[in-house]
Structure 1
């Protein structure tokens, strides 16, 4: 049940408030305990708090580990006739241990499937109860007095803490589900938008070839002697039209396209995009094969979206390298910048440009990849078949 999305950097960003809070409370407990050697509880408390902080990585496993740590800590403290200080409940838990247990319950309720969430919560509660039973009665090493608590008031507090923990987990679980639904809808919209753009290009490109076929066919009808000469041209145009249709497949709809218009020179068009972006772009071209117009339009769209993403999401950009090359019937596009991630894009838009770029590349039978580069910057790479 390990989380695939939550790497260590994101875990630290998400969990540092909990880690700081538990560390502060644990330290405060050690210096306010009412017996001479409170450090016996420090190792167990440290392990319990660490498990709570790392719980989002493996939520259900964390509940099992936390329960074992709580029971083991209670056992070895009891062996030395000690108990948690200061007490939060009757005798088996301190404020830090209770906070760690609440945080772990909230995390497993938020992250895990229902059955695992229910089981994990029950295991943590059972461990807390076991710790109370193992540690009762409290024996104070200083004067060997026995503490007689009021179980009713502590039971009310325990129920309140449990409700807060579960309620917090359910709240964030609902928020996560809502966010996931919104993200799925946005991704679907971005994919559909890219398909529609390809559909419009399909209409434009295929119309060009079909027009050529009609013109040459009419010429052959007017001049019967020239009919045999125009037949190869008609055949070639037909093959080009079929190739374009295979590349630009989709569903035809009405709408406006944001794809830049392609001229007869892909190199000139890319240069124009670089100038319009206002970024310090360095261009490199090594095109050994002729690039069809319909493919050139898609390449321009990928370059345009890459430069737009650099403008929105990167700061302190000193260079953007755009390279276009071809070999063995494949066109290679690389866009690399050295900017620092700015966190919030210009205008506050999160954008789904990468989704559309990947969709376009895959519809053309190619591959697409994008990601961070070390120490700073971003890389976009697309490999598209020319024929």
Structure 2
């Protein structure tokens, strides 16, 4: 078991989406260099001033690559400190060499488990411990001070590993939500296509029965089969490329649509006043889009009841345009505790993106929370779907 854990750690890849160099990196570099300059000018107790300044500047510059090259930056930083420790043993300056700005090395220690692969974390950890061991051997501090120094050095690494674990866990939860939404959408589309195919079979059977006695009726039945076939092909193009697990817990009820919203919003569990407005052409929508509109309103109203403090009303507006359908849901409650989207909204974003649309949610301009979605009346022809805004 332990061997498997070690092998899993060694083969762990770097986390995806490692950010490049951003303005915070340059701000950190500027702050460290400013601190180096102030210490070099104002401190009188600096030993080997030029060496201390060069070392601190070196560590500050290395921080620019801490996310993209975590092992290399740690190796170069602690390699420099080990070299300096060896030199001080030979030259014996009498006092430790370095500036307070050299504490920027803790940022590199944090970045190693946060952004490094498993192999880099292991090798970098060896380098860090080697640097600490050389420091203890040359300075010979008391045992308690040595232990405190080790804890102080490794604490950023613990924080970095904790942040990485939290982010990874959250990403996996998001992925499960997206997978469930894809599965639900695929099930709804499957049921719709199955309905059309059943109608085609019935019409074909009727045409075969009357073909001999009434050819005109048979032609009419074939025309109906053609119409249903075209409609089926349209829905087939709307299917998402996801695997569907038709387990025992699959929902058998047909998906709700815009026509079911009035009944949904009058349900006994809806404790807020809901103002539902339907404008424009909302007929002949794709069943997937019709069901998506229903789900967006359902989730948004549910969130308002759960999280909108002091809310009294939810306003729902659905507008059918020639090429798209717009959905807006806003409440008048306080926004406390609603700074982050829940998994329900994540699923809705995924559904909107799969249909070729987008969904956004955030504080309203005046008060409360606002959810806006824009969906095409039918699936985009090119099969490429913009990602939902985050």
Q: Specify which of 342, 345, 350 is matched with residue 359 of structure 1.
A: 350
CA contact (8 A) 1:320 1:336 kept: yes
Matched, 1:295 2:293: no
Tell me how far apart the structure 2 counterparts of residues 121 and 336 of structure 1 sit (CA, whole Å).
53
Instruction: Give the whole-Å Cα distance in 2 for the aligned partners of 1:175 and 1:285.
Output: 48
Is the Cα–Cα contact under 8 Å of residues 358 and 368 in structure 1 kept in the other structure?
Answer: yes
Residues 1:268 and 1:295: Cα distance change in structure 2 (over 3 Å): same
Which residue number corresponds to residue 305 of structure 1? Answer: 299
Q: How does 1:81-120 map to 2 (within 5 A)?
A: 112-113=67-68, 114-115=70-71, 118=74
Contact 1:196–1:253 (Cα < 8 Å) also in 2: yes
CA distance in 2, matches of 1:69, 1:173: 26
CA distance in 2, matches of 1:269, 1:350: 26
Aligned to 2:33: 68
Closer, same or farther: CA 310–362 of 1 in aligned 2, 3 Å: same
Task: State the distance in 2 between where 1:354 and 1:381 align.
Answer: 11
Match of residue 375 from structure 2: 384
d(CA) in 2 for partners of 1:341 and 1:228? 61
Residue of structure 2 equivalent to 1:237: 228
Number of aligned residues: 288
1:185 aligned residue: 172
In structure 2, C-alpha distance between the alignment counterparts of 1:305 and 1:275, rounded to whole Å: 15
Is 2:203 the partner of 1:216?
A: yes
- Once residues 259 and 361 of structure 1 are traced to their aligned partners in structure 2, the CA distance between those partners, rounded to angstroms, is 22
SS of the residue 1:340 aligns to: coil
1:157-191, Cα deviation, whole Å (9 max, x unpaired): 98667534431210111111111221121111111
Return the alpha-carbon distance in structure 2 between the equivalents of residues 287 and 155 of structure 1: 79
Q: Which residue of 2 aligns with 1:338?
A: 332
- Aligned counterparts, 1:117-128, within 5 A: 118=74
Question: What SS does the aligned partner of 1:381 have?
Answer: strand
- The answer on whether the counterparts of 1:197 and 1:259 sit within 8 Å (CA) in structure 2 is no
- CA 1:204 to 1:341, structure 2 compared with 1: closer, same or farther past 3 Å? same
CA distance in 1, matches of 2:73, 2:333: 42
Whole-Å Cα distance in 1 between the matches of residues 143 and 33 of structure 2? 25
Quickly say closer, same or farther: Cα 1:65–1:74, change in 2 above 3 A: same
Distance (Å, rounded) in 2 between the aligned partners of 1:195 and 1:173: 33
**What TM-score do the two structures reach when normalised by structure 2?**
0.61
**Unpaired segments ≥5 residues, structure 2:** 1-16, 50-55, 85-95, 101-137, 379-390
Q: Any idea what SS the aligned residue of 1:315 has? A: coil
Shift of 1:124: 12
C-alpha deviation, 1:278, in angstroms: 2.3
Which residue in the other structure is 1:329 paired with?
323
CA contact (8 A) 2:359 2:372 kept: yes
Could you tell me how far apart the structure 2 residues matched to 1:285 and 1:176 are? Answer: 45
| 1:369 maps onto 2:360 in alignment | yes
1:278 matched to 2:271? The reply is: yes
Change beyond 3 A, Cα 1:71–1:288: closer
Residues 308 and 169 of structure 1: CA distance in aligned 2, closer, same or farther (over 3 Å): same
Evaluate the alpha carbon distance shift between residue 120 and residue 58 of structure 1 in structure 2; reply closer, same or farther with a 3 A threshold: farther
Paired with 1:159 and 1:118, the residues of 2 have a C-alpha distance of: 21
Q: Distance in 1 between matches of 2:341 and 2:282?
A: 37
Give the match for residue 313 of structure 2. 319
RMSD: 4.1
- SS of 1:203 mapped into structure 2: helix
Q: 1:253 aligns with which of 233, 245, 252?
A: 245
SS at the partner of 1:58?
helix
Alignment check: 8 A CA contact 1:71 1:130 kept: no
CA shift at 1:344, angstroms? 7.8
* Long gaps (5+) in structure 1: 7-55, 84-88, 93-100, 133-150
CA contact (8 A) 1:70 1:131 kept: no
Q: Any conservation in 1 of the 2:307–2:337 contact (CA below 8 Å)?
A: yes
Q: 1:355 & 1:283 partners in 2: Cα distance?
A: 24
* Conserved? CA contact 2:258–2:294, under 8 Å: no
